[in-house]
Structure 1
């Protein structure tokens, strides 16, 4: 099936526009039996598209992470200060690679010396259009410390540097509980040896 031949969008209207946007769709789609579904009405959260960057120092086998307040976690009844990967929204006309490098500087004070594209995924396809492009950036973990973020954007970010083993332990015990960081660190667990071979020593 494909979106061109097997989905009919009857109407789409923006029902809320503030910091984020919500659009209401009336649509129907072809079913696995071959006929058409009943008309569906669904609201879709339009947040834009994001990059996430796992900061990794292969020489020291350390990971750079950030911690910041998240209102969604508060609304869910969770501790709203989450330990995450660097991340940011891709603005119109921006290349994701450039956003990844910019956000690494703004949120962690680090400069990537190499970067690999890990993959792309949907954040929560049942109700949002947002996608994430995930990178792993080579950094010198000794440059990551202190507080960061743009005050004009309400950012208040604290950095952390931990071993890759400790980062995975944080995933296992729930200290890291957001999808971006969990996906990134599980990827690193699978690919770390290959990545360290490919990147080689930095000479520092």
Structure 2
């Protein structure tokens, strides 16, 4: 599909950083072309800037098992049954790093498992209405028997429990709503569509 508009159809009038900490908040002023023709007036939007990240789906195609991690996510406190979430491995991409190098590093730091191979699947935006964050999504071929214990970096206050589920079990947790974060839902849905191909490749 060829879309009607591209980068040239937005004019940035100004950008101001109104907060800067571990994350930052920028205010954009812009105008853009309209579907009905002509240009918009000046539009102002606040954008949460948190950098870009990788997401890694650790999957053992031999045993048909998935490695998920569990950790506390304070932003969901009071919004779910528990603020401890089952997730895929993920981590921020720092300046000068490649996405694949970060994927390998985060897999070891958060699950204690090394990838036999790492393959990029796609790129997506988590919540483009409010944040610029872009995810690079990888699947990692792993040996699930090596996944166990508690991991994470103490100086980052990480406390991460590793779990191993059959693919069927993991997908049931998506269907019953236990897994309720976007990256993990996306990753496990992708796996459900592609696991037969992955298992055949590993034979």
* Fold match (TM-score > 0.5): yes
Cα distance in 2 between the residues matched to 1:154 and 1:73: 18
Say which SS state the counterpart of residue 186 (structure 1) adopts. Answer: helix
Cα distance in 2 between the residues matched to 1:102 and 1:46: 23
Say which SS state the counterpart of residue 60 (structure 1) adopts. Answer: coil
RMSD: 0.9
- Could you report, residue by residue, the CA deviation over 1:75-132 in whole angstroms, capped at 9, with x for unpaired residues? x622211100000000001011100000000000000001221101001000100010
Say which SS state the counterpart of residue 96 (structure 2) adopts. Answer: coil
Contiguous gaps of at least 5 residues in structure 2: none
TM-score by structure 2 length?
A: 0.95
Q: Where do residues 48-127 of structure 1 align in structure 2 (5 Å cutoff)?
A: 48-74=51-77, 77-78=79-80, 79-127=82-130
Give the deviation of 1:49 after TM superposition: 0.3
Name the count of aligned residue pairs: 198
Give the deviation of 1:73 after TM superposition: 1.4
Cα distance in 2 between the residues matched to 1:34 and 1:69: 47
Say which SS state the counterpart of residue 110 (structure 2) adopts. Answer: helix
Give the deviation of 1:199 after TM superposition: 2.2
Q: Do the aligned partners of 2:69 and 2:88 also contact (CA within 8 Å) in 1?
A: yes
Give the deviation of 1:156 after TM superposition: 0.8
TM-score by structure 1 length?
A: 0.95
Contiguous gaps of at least 5 residues in structure 1: none
| Structure-1 residue corresponding to 2:187 | 184
